[in-house]
Amino acid sequence: MTFARTLLRCSVATAVAAALLSACIPTASAQKKKAAAAPAVKTDAQVEHKGDQPGGYYGAQPATENIDLTMYSRIRTEGLTHGKVMQFGAALADGIGPRLTGSPNMAKANAWTRDTLTKIGLENAHLEDWGEFGMGWQQINTWARMVSPDPEPLWMQAAPWSPATKGPVSGEVVYVDLANADLDKLKGKLAGKIVLLGAMRATPDITEPLFHRYTDAELKEMESVEGDNDARRRAFLGNQTIEQFLAARAKAAALRTQALKMMEEEGVAAIITPSRDGGDGGGTGIIFDDNGANLSRGAQTRENAVTIPNAVMMIEHYNRLARMVSAGVPVTVEVNIDTKFTGDHEHGFDTVAEIPGSDPKLKDQVVMVGGHLDSWISGTGATDNGAGSIVAMEAVRILKALDLHPRRTIRIALWSGEEEGLFGSQGYVKQHFGTFAPSATPDPAGTPAFMSRNRGPLQTTKEWETLDAYYNLDNGTGKIRGVYTQGNWAIGPIFAQWIAPLKDLGVTTISYRDTGGTDHLSFDAVGLPGFQFIQDPLDYETRTHHSDMDTYDRLHQGDLEQAAIVEAIFLWNTSQRDAMMPRKPFPHPEDERKLNAPIPGIYPNAVEAPAGSENGGRRGRPQ
């Protein structure tokens, strides 16, 4: 799951829509493609009411679902008796390892999933190019040791897209707490130094277990419409507004850019940053190595690349070095950051395969399942998100093993580029389903994409009309406890009937809330039914998410087998319905300003003010 999920999960859908808008502006690489490759798009007026007919996605839905309990039993038996999910997991996490988008390992994973899906009986297994990503890169080896005053091995890993040192290099350590540093005083003093860049952080006592399964009370709370978005906002922002938070981030980024430029000019030997914390203080003795470790936004592109070798260090070792230097102790460290670049213009690919539909009237409609195949580099990407990928593979394997012939086509898609911004699923959605036209009133310069509310009309393709639903798994290795509907009120009663026979498996909860941070958002943003399952958290947010603990050892076989069974049942039920799954209303972002505008003349005796004056163009009441 992308690290950006931490930043106001309720805002991520807007970011996806904004990204789909920006994607409609041709890039240099996109312009090289033939014009015929772009799908024909339709305006909302052409498609919005087409789904109103009986059986359509905007039509009336039956009150009672036609559930095949015999099929539930067959799927359960196959999944529990002949399950292959752990075989998939070992081959992916151990056999291939970390899968940074654009890297050689990512290419191996794409090829392995394509070939494996073919072996288990799926058809049309292929890779789809979603566009240029940036630099190909892999970590070969990284190590460090304190030379003086006391020899000690130090634990660290290269930050993604870091250049290599020229073999082992030694240097005196300089500690720079950037938020409080006076860069002018450092000029002329950094040549050949190894810089600790970033403040020390506390390692809080762990007084509660870092492994957790949802309680009945917690699951019941998720069923309430009133979510905890406000609480998450307060926890993340404190007393700041989002504007103040973004301004502080922009200021910090500018300071970091200034510092990096100075360090590059002075010839710093290497930069070491402190590993961030995990949830509930779980980041002790761990290296979290993700986009939080990048010194530059978009570091995978040559124009944003950091030219100084840089790595992220376990916090206990980082703190020791920083304390010693702060106390005036001269410290010398030797580091070796061994990395390899494999190209400046690597493309990203999604793995796609199908079980063809059999009903002459419904086979062109598609039910999708997926998860992101890419990962960060410090572990082997087992729980994030090897788990979601292998569960999707196992779900379609179960259906093929039973020799089932769904009415609709069932398609699996395993995404890349998720960790850097949902690139793979966004690219797929743009190519197959649609995108937003540019707004007639652009945002002010400098407005972050996820705060944008200015988008033109949604322009859809023919395939947009035939996508029935997309199901996603990307919250670690925990079992499925329910599903988020993303505010789709009509679909909740359908899902509730589907999960009733699964209560003994722990699947009990329908939440109408939005959840963010992963690939279902790409579908939801363009008005398609896209869903993320509710999963037991286990130690995902506390220990394994983007860390060196994210290995095969953290996978829970029983949980993954249960998740694959649930996914297979959701796929089968969706594929067999007479009606398409209900959708939320067609998105009209171009009308948001008008719809959110105050009712004119709502205050008695109000006096119109000249256009452009304060208070929204109205005078204050007479004093």
CATH number assigned to the domain comprising residue 291: 3.50.30.30
Token duo for residue 482: 């329910």
Does residue 57 belong to any structural domain of this protein? Answer: no
Comparing 152-156, 234-238, 307-311, 486-490, the range with the smallest average pLDDT is: 234-238
Q: How many domains does the chain have?
A: 2
Mean pLDDT of 21-31: 43
pLDDT attached to residue 36: 41
Of 564, 514, 246, which Cα lies nearest the Cα of 393? 564
- Is the per-residue pLDDT at 27 higher than 60? no
Residues 303 and 420 in one domain: no
| pLDDT score, position 26 | 38
Whether residue 282 is found in the same domain as residue 368:
no
Percent of the chain with pLDDT over 70: 87
pTM over 0.85: yes
| pLDDT of the residue at 55 | 85
**pLDDT value of position 6:** 43
pLDDT of residue 291: 87
Boundaries of domain holding 386? 3-24+69-134+344-438+456-582
Q: What separation in angstroms does the CA of 255 have from each of 32, 160, 193, 245?
A: 37, 21, 20, 15
* Residue 621 is assigned to a structural domain of this protein: no
Q: Are residues 301 and 153 in the same domain?
A: yes
pLDDT at 34: 38
221 and 95 in a single domain? The answer is: no
Q: Which of 172, 136, 173, 138 is nearest to 158 (CA)?
A: 138
Non-local CB neighbours of 402 within 8 Å, separated by 6+ positions: 74, 75, 78
pLDDT at 53: 85
Burial letters 66-76, b for 16+ CB under 10 A, else e? eeeeebbebbb
205 located within any domain: yes
Residue type, 68: D
Question: In this predicted model, which residue has the larger pLDDT, 558 or 253?
Answer: 558
Mean pLDDT of 19-45: 50
Q: Look at residue 54 in the predicted model and tell me its pLDDT.
A: 83
Per-residue pLDDT, averaged over 73-99, amounts to 98
Alpha helices in 52-194 (DSSP H): 69-81, 85-89, 104-119, 183-186
Q: Measured at the alpha carbon of residue 590, what is the angle toward residues 585 and 592, in degrees to the nearest 5?
A: 70
Given a cut of 60, is residue 14 above it in pLDDT?
A: no
Query: Do 158 and 286 fall into the same domain?
Result: yes
Residue 44 has pLDDT above 90, yes or no: no
Lowest mean pLDDT among 190-194, 247-251, 262-266: 247-251
Distance CA 421, CA 4 (A): 8
- What pLDDT is stored for residue 238 in this prediction? 77
Least confident of 327-331, 560-564, 599-603: 599-603
Judgement on whether residues 283 and 386 belong to the same structural domain of the protein: no
Please tell me the predicted confidence (pLDDT) of residue 20: 67
DSSP string, 364-408: TSEEEEEEE----SSS--IIIIIHHHHHHHHHHHHHHHTT---SS
Same domain, 420 and 281: no
Kindly state whether residues 355 and 489 are assigned to the same domain. Answer: yes
C-alpha Rg value of the chain to the nearest Å: 26
Q: Answer yes or no: is pLDDT of 611 > 90.
A: no
pLDDT of residue 195: 98
The residue whose two tokens read 């990096």 is 260
* 574 and 531, same domain (yes or no): yes
- The proportion of the chain whose per-residue pLDDT surpasses 90, expressed as a percent, equals 77
179 and 302 together in one domain: yes
